[in-house]
Chain A
Amino acid sequence: MAEAARARKLPLDDKIHTWPHLVRMEFLVALFATVALTLWAMMVDAPLEEPANPTRTPNPSKAPWYFLGLQEMLVYFDPWHAGVVLPTLIIVGLMIIPYIDINPKGSGYYCFKDRKYEILTFFLGFHILWIVTIIIGTFFRGPGWNLFWPWQHWDPHKVVALTNVDLPYLLGFRDYWVSAIVGLLVVAAYFVFGIAAFYFWVLRVKGREFLERWGMVRFTLTAVIFIFMLSLPAKMFLRLVFNVKYILVTPWINI
């Protein structure tokens, strides 16, 4: 681009003075935001309920709204997974983004075409999975964490049939240990086939040259995080369509 700029006789340096250009902007935005916040704070009071009472549990008990995505995941996974493992993977997954994304294009400007897959993945993780689960948890969950429409009366006695069964049971396995082994195989197969499918998909859309440049470590990290991310919609699908409670049941962990 430097050559193009020189050809068009544009200055190579597009810098302007911070004072007044940037400082002025910051001042105006800060002023506007502070006024808007003050007006909002004058009109809408922060909630204060009755004094804390450890003996009276409200139904539903909801976490602060920004954690409702995690609470919504508890419907589909056990707390150790939805509350500890997946949040940790979200944070780690976010942190490694700059290291697994080796696309030199799209740095410093908005462009969808140059980095389609990166943006679509972020969109799936952030907008679809994170924001939508927060919206469901905030507006669509009532007593007993049952689904209610926002305009529906919150009936604490709503009857919901408990029809969920474990996947091995659904497949016809009744013995405890055989079921555990089948469950383990299904989970292992999910990851093996998931990572293999991811490999062939990258090979098809990006080519072998890219895979070599990308390297084994980057590929594995991306594949594992990506397959973990897809496990949420996969489990949601199994639950909502086939009433699957767990895939793997053992005395120690259930998935």
Chain B
Amino acid sequence: MSLLQKIKNDIVESHVWKSIFRHGYEDTPRNRVMMVTANVFLHLHPAKVRRHAVRMRFTWCMGGLTFLMFLITAVTGVYLMFYYRPVAEYAFADMKYLETDMPFGMLMRNMHRWAAHAMIVFVWLHMFRVFLTGSYKPPREFNWIVGVLLLVLTLLLSFTGYLLPWDQLAIWAVTVGSNMARATPLLGYEGPFAEFVGANPVYDARAFLFGGGEIGPHTLLRFYILHCIFIPLVASILMAVHFWRIRRDGFSGPSL
């Protein structure tokens, strides 16, 4: 036995190694299954999948890519959070600082923004693909509903993030996008029948969203918390349900 082989054996046979890795790496059917079932991340998958679930022609990879974009925005988002303060006096200056002075700041910001846009495109294409293959049909009806909720959350994630740079593009796009809330029937002060409920500019659906009658510092903080904590948390829970359901119901495909 060569020295190298002996060192390798000593490591793989050690107490520490065996406590972490439960199985060998030789290409045996048992190890192939263990690779998935003994790994918390890969355990999202079943140990075996139907043949066409692997084909890109069938899946377009869109669900997976949407999830990847979510992960990328989460990682780059944490990096951006280190340098950004959701306070009206600082927010824009922090953007400039982040873009010009922080190592990889501009790259992280760009990746965050483009991944967010790509996530929207991918989630639409994913819905289109799932529709085309009829994958919402029994027993997967409920998972389609979870998917629609995730689609809405994706749009809201992107929309709340749109405000954070605190530049002209941000506040006016969010103003235009949120003005609809002002017109909610009964609940918005410009909406039909608002006078019967008593909605007014500082006490209606949009004011609830903005944290005040007009877009301002309070809105920035509110959108920041929605963007960084609340919506990602809800989306993560729904994603867990979404993936779990795929695993339980099996990957859709033609009957054998």
Contacts and interface: CB of A to CB of B under 8 A. Distances in A.
Interface string B51-66: 1111010100100110
Contacts of A101: 136-137
Contacts of B144: 95, 97-98
Interface residues of A, number: 78
Contact of B42 (A23, A61, A99): A23
B136 A97 contact: yes
A29 B137 CA distance: 27
A45 interface: yes
Interface in B48-105: 48-54, 56, 58, 61, 64-65, 68-69, 72, 88, 92, 95-96, 99
Interface stretch (B155-163, B222-230, B233-241): B155-163
B115 A37 contact: yes
B92 A42 contact: no
Contacts of A63: 173, 176-177
Contacts of B132: 110, 119
B128 interface: yes
For the residues of B in contact with A, the DSSP-based class is helix
A67 B159 contact: yes
A108 B128 CA distance: 13
| Most chain B CB atoms below 10 A, which of A12, A19, A25, A58 | A19
A20 B114 CA distance: 30
A185 B65 CA distance: 49
A52 B110 contact: no
The 10 closest A-B pairs by CB, nearest first: A83-B180, A79-B183, A98-B141, A41-B110, A19-B35, A46-B113, A107-B137, A15-B48, A63-B177, A106-B134
Given A19-B42, A23-B36, A52-B92, 13 more contacts: A1-B254, A13-B256, A19-B36, A40-B114, A42-B110, A51-B166, A54-B214, A66-B155, A79-B183, A80-B190, A97-B131, A98-B138, A110-B133
